[in-house]
Chain A
Amino acid sequence: MDELLLSKIRLGVIAELLTAEWIAFSELQRATQTTNGNLGAHLSKLVDAGYVAEEKSFVNRRPLTRYRLTPLGRNAFVQHVREMQSLLEQGEVS
């Protein structure tokens, strides 16, 4: 399994990004119901791994950061979900 996606928040972020072209930091924070610092730390790990791309800009002189899922992140998510489903099936069989 993908170690990076074992975290519920990081998996949630990837799932949210899967449904959108991009999502702003504030919207991701609302969706994942976590603190600024916590979400920022999780996002940094995802960005460093190349799973998520970060775009910074300014709107009305205020910083705006948007995130989008990369093809690498999408593939990692699909693979991770498959492995979780497989684990679940094995659990149900045994």
Chain B
Amino acid sequence: MDAREAREQLEMVDRILSRAEPPKSYRPWTWALIVIGLAAALLEAGSQFSRDGHGNVVIVAGAGLMAAAYVYMIWVAAISKRSAGRLPAGEARIGKASSAVWTAIFIAFWAQPHVFSDWALGAIWNVGGAIQMLMFGYFGDRRALIAGLLIALSIPAANYSPQPGYVLAGGFILGYVVPGILMALDKDEQEVRG
């Protein structure tokens, strides 16, 4: 290859990479914002309604709407993936980050009755740790994915334990400290991260 060919090929690469820049900013699915937002608001307002002694009907309606929205969202994602010609890298990154956040929140949701009434200060750290590890996991690190699930699952596990503090701490040790040590000992990993 001579300099002229190299210049031509570099120009072609540059054209392809520039073309990939999104013409506009990415937007979430608007229907998802509306339906899931409404469902979450119903759940929250329903909790207040229930505490005020008016029954659980609003909570049940909110939970039903949330479940239906989740199922529909999974179905739409599957259909979109099947019919699309390409998945732009930017969209994929946003999707993975959002999945990490909502997976952690969804798992933590089941710990509401006990953990988030008395142990919210500790549990919120586990939610943050789970989100972080799940993000690395969804971007291809299987070890981080397992770690993220471990931290997230420690929250509902703590919910049913007589000693929730120890379970939350165990989740952090297993899902954060242990993978941290393993990654630090991993020679290839150190080379990648410099």
Contact = CB atoms under 8 A, between A and B. Distances in A.
Interface of A: 1, 6, 8, 11-12, 15-16, 18-24, 26-27, 30-31, 59, 64, 81, 84-85, 87-88, 90-92
B10 A12 contact: no
28 contacts: A1-B1, A6-B1, A8-B8, A12-B12, A12-B13, A15-B16, A16-B16, A18-B89, A19-B20, A20-B20, A20-B89, A21-B87, A21-B88, A21-B91, A21-B92, A22-B86, A22-B87, A23-B86, A24-B84, A27-B85, A30-B85, A31-B16, A59-B82, A81-B13, A84-B9, A87-B2, A88-B7, A92-B3
Given A84-B1, A90-B3, A91-B2, A23 B85 contact: yes
B6 interface: yes
Contact of B3 (A16, A21, A59, A88): A88
Given A21-B88, A87-B2, 10 more contacts: A1-B1, A11-B12, A11-B13, A19-B19, A19-B89, A20-B88, A20-B92, A21-B92, A27-B86, A31-B16
